[in-house]
């Protein structure tokens, strides 16, 4: 993994590492580029996240909104249990979790 302040990176369509404040804008932009390039639905695999926080949820919401405004759909797969809990507590499960 790269030594970014954000400590996360995309490997294809898989988000890996830790979501941290320092590089939030660059990872958000990278996700938006994936959405821009996608035709139809996009699936982002979150199984490589090693740490979950509300900042990660913020990135997911930003990507969801970006896709929505383009008439596209983004799905998140392999959501880690800790991140799933934050999503549910935040009341965002209908937007971000396909299985609920």
Q: Where are the domains of the chain?
A: 8-96
Instruction: Write out pLDDT tens, residues 54-69.
Output: 888 999 999 999 999 9
Q: Which of 69, 84, 81, 1 is nearest to 36 (CA)?
A: 69
Q: SS3 sequence, 47-95? A: EEEEECCHHHHHHHHHHHHHHHHCCCEEEEECCCHHHHHHHHHCCCHHH
CATH topology for 8-96 is Transcription Regulator spoIIAA (3.30.750)
Per residue in 13-35, pLDDT (tens digit) is 777 777 667 778 888 888 899 89
Question: Cα separations (Å) of 26 from 53, 66, 95, 96?
Answer: 17, 15, 23, 21
């Amino acid at each position: 993994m790269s030594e970014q302040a954000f400590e996360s990176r995309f490997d294809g369509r898989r988000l890996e590492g830790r979501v941290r404040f320092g590089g939030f804008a660059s990872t958000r932009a990278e996700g938006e580029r994936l959405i821009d390039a996608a035709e139809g639905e996009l699936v982002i695999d979150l199984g490589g996240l090693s740490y979950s926080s509300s900042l990660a949820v913020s990135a997911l919401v930003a990507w969801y909104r970006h896709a929505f405004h383009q008439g596209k759909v983004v799905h998140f797969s392999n959501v880690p249990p800790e991140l799933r809990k934050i999503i549910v507590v935040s009341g965002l499960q209908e937007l971000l979790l396909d299985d609920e």
